[in-house]
């Protein structure tokens, strides 16, 4: 199984012809509500591939929270450790997108920041028995660290996605990560190196493995990803599928969710093969609009991925 300890965010999206100026009111032409949050996105992708999943998270005791729980259930995700609190609203991302695809975004993490180590003690039964646990940085860092510690001490494979990136990440995040998966900008913030090519990504991965992660993966959008494990000296580039991207939002989360699925259910595959397949699945997600709405189901994918 795959357990995710992470965030749920309700995306409130307005489409406008241009972005408003300070103090200005403008009319948009379309509004929609989407389900997002890096944690839940990754969990949904793993579930749609067929993983047994559980989402350890906190939403508000409000209508967005109720709707989010319904969304998790509809994706077949266990909500046994999905907590609801009266003390904060469900996390939201208020997003304005203009016709050029430029955006402005305000995130209020709300209930996500109230997921605490006491909640994790309750969820420890699930975390300690799963094959793979994923976490990110959209909940309190102390909560993610505790989740990694519980998983690690029970021999559960940990997949850590340091997003959004923090420059002075606690060094324990590296030593507790079996697989450390970040994108180009996160790799830049963490290492201080410029990362804009597979060669750069390989150099950043070397720095990150030296901090203690067993395996480092740096995703590179249309360039695919680069992997490096502690036992190797030469990074390997795995090119992406060549597709026409229409909306790359959430591609990284689709990739992480897919990778967790392969780590949990196809442990005999080489890491390179798992990454090829994860590239394929994330490439499907960029060919449709939206975040979770663009994530493929097992039934829509080629049989040779399974």
- Residues taking part in catalysis: 253
Cis peptide before 164 (omega within 30 of 0): yes
Encoding tokens for residue 241?
């599928």
Q: Shortest approach of ligand ADP to residue 285 CB, angstroms?
A: 7
179, 186 in Cβ contact below 8 A? no
DSSP β-bridge partners for residue 180: 160, 216
192 vs 239, which CB is nearer to ligand ADP?
239
Q: Shortest approach of ligand ADP to residue 183 CB, angstroms?
A: 4
114 vs 227, which CB is nearer to ligand ADP?
227
- Residue 32 has phi, psi (to 5 degrees) of -150, 160
109 vs 227, which CB is nearer to ligand ADP?
227
Residue nearest to ligand ADP (CB): 252
Angle at 198 between CA 197 and CA 202, to 5 degrees: 120
165, 141 in Cβ contact below 8 A? no
88 vs 159, which CB is nearer to ligand ADP?
159
DSSP β-bridge partners for residue 213: none
61, 84 in Cβ contact below 8 A? yes
Pairing of strands 30-36, 9-15: antiparallel
217, 225 in Cβ contact below 8 A? yes
Rounded to the nearest 10 degrees, what angle do helices 38-48 and 251-265 cross at? 50
Q: Shortest approach of ligand ADP to residue 147 CB, angstroms?
A: 20
Please state, in angstroms and rounded to a whole number, the distance separating the CA atoms of residues 88 and 155. 34
Q: Shortest approach of ligand ADP to residue 190 CB, angstroms?
A: 14
- Residue 197 has phi, psi (to 5 degrees) of -150, 165
Angle at 285 between CA 222 and CA 69, to 5 degrees: 135
In the complex, the residues that contact ligand ADP under the rule CB under 6 A are 183, 219-222, 224-225, 240-241, 243, 245, 248, 251-252, 255, 279, 282-283, 286
Q: Shortest approach of ligand ADP to residue 118 CB, angstroms?
A: 31
DSSP-based three-state secondary structure for 163: coil
38 vs 58, which CB is nearer to ligand ADP?
38
209 vs 254, which CB is nearer to ligand ADP?
254
111, 91 in Cβ contact below 8 A? yes
Q: Shortest approach of ligand ADP to residue 122 CB, angstroms?
A: 30
């Amino acid at each position: 199984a795959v357990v995710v300890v992470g965030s749920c965010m309700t995306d409130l999206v307005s489409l406008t012809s241009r972005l408003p100026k300070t103090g200005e009111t403008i009319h948009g032409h379309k509004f929609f509500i989407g389900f997002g949050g890096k944690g839940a996105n990754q969990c949904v992708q793993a579930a749609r591939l067929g993983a047994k999943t559980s989402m350890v998270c906190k939403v508000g005791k409000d209508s967005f929270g109720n709707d989010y729980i319904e969304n998790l259930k509809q994706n077949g995700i266990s909500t046994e450790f999905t907590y609801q609190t009266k003390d904060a609203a469900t996390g939201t991302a208020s997003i304005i997108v203009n016709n050029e695809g430029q955006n402005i975004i305000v995130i209020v993490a709300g209930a996500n920041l109230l997921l605490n180590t006491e909640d994790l003690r309750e969820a420890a039964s699930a975390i300690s028995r799963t094959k793979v646990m994923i976490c990110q940085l959209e909940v309190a860092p102390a909560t993610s660290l505790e989740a990694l510690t519980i998983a690690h001490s029970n021999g559960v494979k940990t997949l850590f996605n340091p997003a959004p990136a923090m420059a002075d990440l606690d060094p324990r995040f590296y030593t507790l990560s079996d697989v450390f998966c970040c994108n180009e900008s996160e790799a830049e913030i963490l290492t201080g190196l410029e990362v804009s090519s597979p060669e750069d990504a390989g150099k950043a991965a070397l720095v990150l493995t030296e901090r203690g992660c067993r395996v480092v993966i740096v995703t590179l959008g249309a360039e695919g990803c680069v992997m490096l494990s502690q036992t190797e000296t030469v990074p390997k580039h795995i090119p992406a599928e060549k597709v026409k991207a229409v909306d790359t939002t959430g591609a990284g989360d689709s990739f992480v969710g897919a990778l967790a699925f392969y780590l949990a259910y196809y442990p005999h595959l080489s890491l390179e093969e798992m990454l090829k397949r994860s590239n394929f699945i994330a490439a499907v997600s960029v060919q449709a609009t939206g975040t979770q709405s663009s994530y493929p189901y097992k039934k829509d994918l080629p049989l040779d991925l399974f």
